[in-house]
Homo-oligomer: A and B are copies of this chain.
Amino acid sequence: MARAGLTAERVTRAAADLADEVGFENITLTALARGFGVKDASLYSHVKNLQELRLGIAMLAAGELADRIGAAVAGRAGKDALIAFARAYREFALERPGRYAATQARIDPALLATSEGYRRNIESTYAMLRAYGLDEPDLTDAGRLLRSVFHGFAVLEGNGGFGHVRRPSESFDRAVEALHVALMNWPD
């Protein structure tokens, strides 16, 4: 019978698409196999287990997010860079919810350190913050604040947690403005 032509990468990519459709924690090897017209057991030749598949999605997604942010920030500085960074981040989270959720999954720190995508994301944050004249430990503190705001907003918006009539995109832009103010007047 004809083969589906599976590889670890094609499986991971399809899993990421599936995650965007049904949610990161709802992906299933059985459903994924169905999409390929294949039995679920067959996928275990390409992927160790569900846990590892999720890890693969996370790595893939982190790289894609880093690409987007990199492209958005390129050639910008200061407040412009902050706004571009923030919008690119939010857009990714909204457009690719499954992939985005994957990037936030709990991951073994040792593995995380070796990940290209994750490293690049941290790099670009720090580069942006240094432009505000911050040094350690303020750099770490401000970086954590930024990640908290962006991630928190993405989660709350994604969960439909903003019931109000006020458009989330407007609130988001204001939040970024407020962050800019906070970064310009970083407390000591």
Q: Which residues of A contact B (CB under 8 A)?
A: 25, 104-106, 109, 112-113, 137-138, 140-142, 144-145, 147-153, 155-156, 159-164, 166, 168, 170-171, 174-175, 177-183, 185-187
Contacts and interface: CB of A to CB of B under 8 A. Distances in A.
A94 to B, nearest CB: 14
B156 A147 contact: yes
Contacts of A171: 137, 140-141, 144-145
Contacts of A166: 137, 140-141
B187 A177 contact: yes
Given A177-B187, A182-B178, A182-B182, A144 B163 contact: no
Given A178-B187, A185-B185, A151 B155 contact: yes
Question: From DSSP, what is the main secondary structure of chain A's interface residues?
Answer: helix
Contacts of A137: 166, 170-171
Given A148-B156, A155-B155, A181-B185, 7 more contacts: A106-B160, A140-B171, A144-B171, A144-B175, A149-B152, A151-B156, A178-B186
B164 A153 contact: no
A56 B21 CA distance: 27
